[in-house]
Structure 1
Amino acid sequence: MAEGEPPRRRRMTRTAREQQLLDVAEELFLGAGYERTSIEDIARAAGITRPVVYEHYGSKEGIYLACVRRARVPLNEALHAAFESSDDPVEQFTRGLDAYYALLERDANRWRLLFSPNGVLTGPLADDLLRERFRTANLIADLVETHLPHVDPQRIDAFAHAISGGVEQLGRWWLAHPEVERAQVVEYQVAFFIPAFEAMRSARP
């Protein structure tokens, strides 16, 4: 570089750019909502042009889905860790719930990105978001099934979806009652679902 020449700005790696775009898009989606956020808004906030956003994520739907998938990774990892930390199903369930509600407590905005109702969304994006929710429910089903080898898989699948939906709804209740301690919320959820689990486990094949 010649003397007196201003330093050249280093170009971001593709991975760094993708993470920057997700950070920017997530903030905009949470602040303004999906419908009121445009690709132009994301590009402007990131200091780039629209074609760069399209190059990385293809569309607004694509970057929104990528935000949701990224936010879901620590949740699924926490569920795996909770189930691997013990062989006792009550302990597994309790630790998994605590990890889930810790995510909400630590970052309520990111939790809203994952679990806020998105009925206003239609078409392929809504289908993709539903599949992401089902993926977590399927993970729960796989983990529960290890303790219930004699139970009809369809029943286990329905139970896992009931857990997933109930946990989401209790999370919304907790956001409206922040004075309640996390441990109490976990205790409530355990009391709601463990009896159903024990009933299935004790049922004869």
Structure 2
Amino acid sequence: MKVERTVTSGTTDAPRKRLSRAERERQILAVAEEVFATRGYQAASMDDIADRVGLSKPMLYEYFGSKDGLLLACLERAKRELLDSTAAAAGDADNAEQLLHDCLLAFFRFSDEHKQAWALLRNESAVLSVPINSELEAIRGQQVELTAELMRTARPDLSQQRLEAFAEAIIGACERMAMWRERRPEITSDQATEHLMALVAPGLT
């Protein structure tokens, strides 16, 4: 059975606090997200991730099954966080324009405040893995579905086809603008929101 490593101080080994499985999984995901985001999937090493967490590589595989499984778990966590951020932002809006503004702002703030998660969502589309690419498309689809549903509530007069078309266009524009901001770091999340609002708001008002 694998015994977790200890932290050495002088000549005395002080055992680490034993974490629950859920706590350990969160720790692994945080480390793996950083490694995948900074190095990319291909260059990321399971040995490096295991070493940073303080586990053996076999134990890491016991938690997530494979390198693909670990990346999928990271993507799933990012998907939940992005959905929570966007859905929470919609709570106080009382008209279609405010709803759109608040959700766009939440997306750009997510990309600012969760840079590693955003880098993961942005960079891993090049991974030649059907499950991973399917998960990435599921994340995009999740945001499209949420956007269409929120707009339906604010603009019940719009047809389903138009709602879907608007939602697809908005999500695509958000992704491209977030990538543009990486090249233009002086552009704030508020400025990015205002730029995109100027483009898409007329279609909702």
TM-score (norm. length: structure 2): 0.84
Is the CA contact (8 Å cut-off) linking 2:75 and 2:120 kept in structure 1? yes
Question: What are the superposed Cα offsets for residues 54-94 of structure 1, whole Å, 9 maximum, x if unpaired?
Answer: 22222211211211222233322222122210221111111
Note if 1:14 corresponds to 2:21.
yes
How much does 1:124 deviate? 2.0
1:119 to 1:9, Cα distance in 2 relative to 1, 3 A: closer
Following superposition, the deviation at residue 7 of structure 1 comes to: 6.1
1:102 equivalenced with 2:109 (yes/no): yes
Residue 57 of structure 2: which of 50, 71, 75 is its match? 50
2:194 to 164, 187, 203: 187
Q: RMSD of the alignment, in Å?
A: 2.1
Uncovered stretches (5+) of structure 1, i.e. residues with no partner? 199-205
Distance in 1 (CA, whole Å) between partners of 2:13 and 2:40 is: 39
1:41 aligns with 2:48: yes
Partner of 1:90: 97
Match of 2:69 in 1: 62
Give the residue type in structure 2 aligned to 1:45: R
Query: What displacement does 1:117 show?
Result: 5.9
Select the structure with the greater relative contact order (CA < 8 A; seq sep ≥ 6).
Answer: 2
**Structure 2 residue 81 is the aligned partner of structure 1 residue 74:** yes
Using the alignment, how far apart are the partners of 1:96 and 1:166 within structure 2?
A: 13
Check conservation: 1:89, 1:147, Cα contact below 8 A: yes
**Number of aligned positions between the proteins:** 194
Normalised by the length of structure 1, the TM-score is 0.84
1:103-182 residue pairs with structure 2 within 5 A? 103-116=110-123, 118-182=125-189
Opposite residue 58 of structure 2, the aligned amino acid is P
Task: Report the secondary structure of 2:125's partner residue.
Answer: coil
Confirm or deny that 1:32 pairs with 2:39. Answer: yes
Q: 1:202 corresponds to which residue?
A: none
Q: Distance in 1 between matches of 2:17 and 2:177?
A: 46
Aligned sequence identity (%): 34
Quick check: 1:68–1:114 contact (8 Å CA) kept in 2?
A: yes
- What one-letter code is carried by the residue in structure 1 that aligns with 2:182? L
